[in-house]
A and B are shown apart, each in its own frame.
Chain A
Amino acid sequence: TQLLEQSPQFLSIQEGENLTVYCNSSSVFSSLQWYRQEPGEGPVLLVTVVTGGEVKKLKRLTFQFGDARKDSSLHITAAQPGDTGLYLCAGRQEYGNKLVFGAGTILRVKS
């Protein structure tokens, strides 16, 4: 069973559209990280959120950590073909410091 449920699994949209990726769990995390991964490469860190309710913006990307620190979302405004990739959320467990990943969302932005 996946500790972190990511949705949707796959998203294919046109350039300029907005999208949201969700990451949900019944467990509390001390922090949550979002990564983007391209084929043949390792995941690249986008952001870390630590505080419940925290919102962080990175250009056209907005990340939110749920108040209870059990869920998170990634919103992309005006998607571009360069945003194409596998988006992963990862939560650091409160006890043991293990970093657990969701199954990922494959995003394809068509021009």
Chain B
Amino acid sequence: GAGVSQSPRYKVAKRGQDVALRCDPISGHVSLFWYQQALGQGPEFLTYFQNEAQLDKSGLPSDRFFAERPEGSVSTLKIQRTQQEDSAVYLCASSLGPRAFFEAFFGQGTRLTVV
């Protein structure tokens, strides 16, 4: 596609519910990143994929957070037993590859509200 696509744009979950957030990267992009962004703040790194390999998951805040990219294209971020502190915008970005000059392009994000 023309850009990074995320779905849904908005998600309201009851506390304790499981959610799945989807990211469709730009076609052919090898690298994929997930970020969490609080209102008015910079994005915080969650995890990074190179193709289907999850090379860095150091930013995942707890074992309730899980990300996968089984075929090296679409990625899903899953949050189990959601808590109110999980409320944030979840951003996905992709880049052509891991080299320094490969620019990262972001989707519009999924705004998750846990009630």
- The docked-state distance in angstroms from the alpha carbon of A35 to that of B42 is 10
- In angstroms, Cα B109 to Cα A86, docked, is 15
Number of A-B residue pairs having CB atoms within 8 Å of each other in the complex: 66
Check if B45 sits within 8 Å of A48, measured CB to CB: no
Contact B101 A104 (CB under 8 A): no
CB-based contact B103/A48 at 8 Å: yes
Nearest A residue (CB) for B104: A99
Distance between Cα atoms of A98 and B103 in the complex (Å): 12
Q: How many residues of A contact B (CB 8 A)?
A: 27
Name the CB-closest residue of B to A94: B100
Cβ contact of A30, chosen from B41, B50, B100, B105, cutoff 8 A: B100
On B, residues with C-beta under 8 Å from A are 4, 6, 31, 33, 35, 40-45, 48, 50, 55-56, 58, 91, 93, 98, 100-101, 103-109, 111
